[in-house]
């Protein structure tokens, strides 16, 4: 067992089983040993690869999206440009490079990065030299003011509770101890308070509830309603998010068991976009599949432009990266984009058409 696994086991021995959300919060966020406090997870040498690390086009198109929203809200200066969980800083560096020519945009930007991870912050500092970012542990610490926010693969790392519908009703899945003192999953023997929040379902059904994600979406929505602005949230989440057991563990680009080696293993759950939109309480657009979103923003045209200046080997790499980002059997449909805004502006790029799942909805 890892040192953190031992600490969690000791806590359970003293106070009893803990929720999966509490386990996830410790495994990812423990101040000294948590995965997102000390690991460098993103990239070939880490545990997984993310869209901005696949191609510069991802961050460039998001930069254009942010600049267009800045124009749409009347070019406020300063505007708080916020990224939640910037990883290696690649998305933001590509976004800023791509928007240098937008008159007045960079002069108006006040860059804020929300990340708990010291090694990642160092990577961000290097990638974003020259843009004078301010770092925060939490979104609430970002000063008031008009907001442009982006979060890619951030909400999936926020803790979720998990439930199973038994013949007796919903039962929460807890982390307890086996006879050898190791960590094990087991259903709570009786009803727990959060189970009463779930709609009834057939026996055998699974459900997840992410209080942290909902609370954060609520805080972002409140800021947008008060100060104006837009947020773009991209993450993976099947249409069944919230109604399935999606929590998964990854280590070294391989699937792992959820309880295995806490602090050394990434944990993530599908994002329940409908719950985030409802919690935000402002105008919401989407979610729309990442493939469709990037296509509408002009990914294929950008790929063509890059290929014209590329060597033959690079052309193949550009094609492969485009396919990875947009193909339905790769990141194109599993990953989805949601936009939140104050509803006073024209709909944002990428969400303007209305195919099945991105009809604009307004929550008041």
Binding site for ligand SAM (CB under 6 A): 28-29, 36, 42, 50, 52-53, 85-87, 91, 114-117, 120, 152-154, 157
Shortest separation between residue 152's beta carbon and ligand SAM, angstroms: 4
Size (the chain), residues: 364
Residue with smaller CB distance to ligand SAM, 90 or 170: 90
Give the integer Cα–Cα distance in Å for 136 and 115.
Answer: 6
Shortest separation between residue 35's beta carbon and ligand SAM, angstroms: 8
End-to-end CA distance of the chain: 48
∠285-109-335 over CA atoms, to 5°?
Answer: 35
Query: DSSP H helical segments within the chain, as ranges?
Result: 3-15, 20-29, 35-38, 51-54, 56-72, 90-98, 105-108, 118-127, 211-227, 273-280, 290-297, 299-308, 312-326
Residue with smaller CB distance to ligand SAM, 117 or 290: 117
Instruction: Count Cβ atoms below 10 Å from residue 330 Cβ, excluding itself.
Output: 15
Residue with smaller CB distance to ligand SAM, 28 or 294: 28
**Could you tell me which residues come within 8 angstroms of residue 191 by beta carbon, excluding any fewer than 6 positions away?**
169, 170, 171
Task: Break the chain down into helix, strand, coil percent, rounded to 5.
Answer: 40, 25, 35
Shortest separation between residue 284's beta carbon and ligand SAM, angstroms: 21
Give the integer Cα–Cα distance in Å for 168 and 203.
Answer: 9
Shortest separation between residue 221's beta carbon and ligand SAM, angstroms: 18
Residue with smaller CB distance to ligand SAM, 35 or 170: 35
Residue with smaller CB distance to ligand SAM, 52 or 332: 52
Which residue is nearest to ligand SAM, using beta carbons?
85
Shortest separation between residue 309's beta carbon and ligand SAM, angstroms: 25
Shortest separation between residue 164's beta carbon and ligand SAM, angstroms: 26
Residue with smaller CB distance to ligand SAM, 52 or 146: 52
């Amino acid at each position: 067992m890892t040192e953190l696994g031992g600490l969690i086991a000791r806590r359970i021995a003293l106070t009893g089983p803990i929720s999966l959300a509490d386990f996830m919060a410790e495994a990812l966020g423990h101040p000294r040993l948590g995965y997102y406090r000390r690991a460098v997870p993103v990239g070939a040498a880490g545990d997984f690869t993310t869209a901005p690390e696949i191609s510069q086009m991802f961050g460039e198109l998001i930069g254009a999206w942010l600049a267009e929203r800045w124009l749409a809200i009347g070019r406020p200066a300063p505007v708080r440009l916020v990224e939640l969980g910037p990883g290696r800083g690649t998305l933001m560096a590509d976004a800023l490079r791509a928007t240098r020519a937008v008159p007045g945009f960079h002069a108006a930007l006040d860059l804020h990065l929300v990340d708990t991870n010291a090694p990642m912050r160092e990577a961000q500092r290097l990638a974003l030299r020259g843009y004078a970012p301010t770092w925060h542990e939490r979104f609430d610490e970002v000063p008031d003011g008009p907001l442009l926010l982006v979060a890619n693969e951030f909400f999936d790392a926020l803790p979720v509770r998990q439930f199973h519908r038994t013949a007796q009703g919903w039962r929460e899945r807890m982390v307890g101890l086996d006879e050898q003192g190791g960590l094990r999953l087991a259903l709570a023997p009786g009803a727990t308070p959060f189970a009463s929040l779930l709609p009834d379902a057939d026996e055998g059904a699974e459900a997840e509830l992410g209080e942290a994600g909902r609370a954060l979406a609520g805080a972002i929505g409140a800021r947008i309603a008060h100060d104006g602005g837009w947020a773009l949230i991209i993450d993976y989440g099947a249409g069944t998010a919230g109604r399935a057991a999606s929590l998964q563990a990854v280590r070294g680009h391989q699937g792992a068991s959820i309880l295995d080696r806490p602090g050394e293993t990434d944990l993530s759950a599908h994002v329940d976009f409908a719950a985030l939109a409802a919690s935000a309480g402002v105008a919401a657009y989407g979610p729309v599949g990442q493939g469709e979103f990037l296509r509408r923003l002009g990914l294929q045209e950008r790929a063509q432009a890059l290929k014209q200046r590329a060597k033959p080997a690079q052309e193949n790499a550009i094609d492969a990266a485009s396919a990875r980002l947009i193909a339905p059997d790769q990141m194109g449909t599993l990953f989805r984009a949601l936009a939140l805004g104050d509803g006073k502006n024209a709909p944002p790029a990428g969400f303007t058409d209305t195919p099945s799942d991105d009809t604009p909805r307004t929550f008041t």
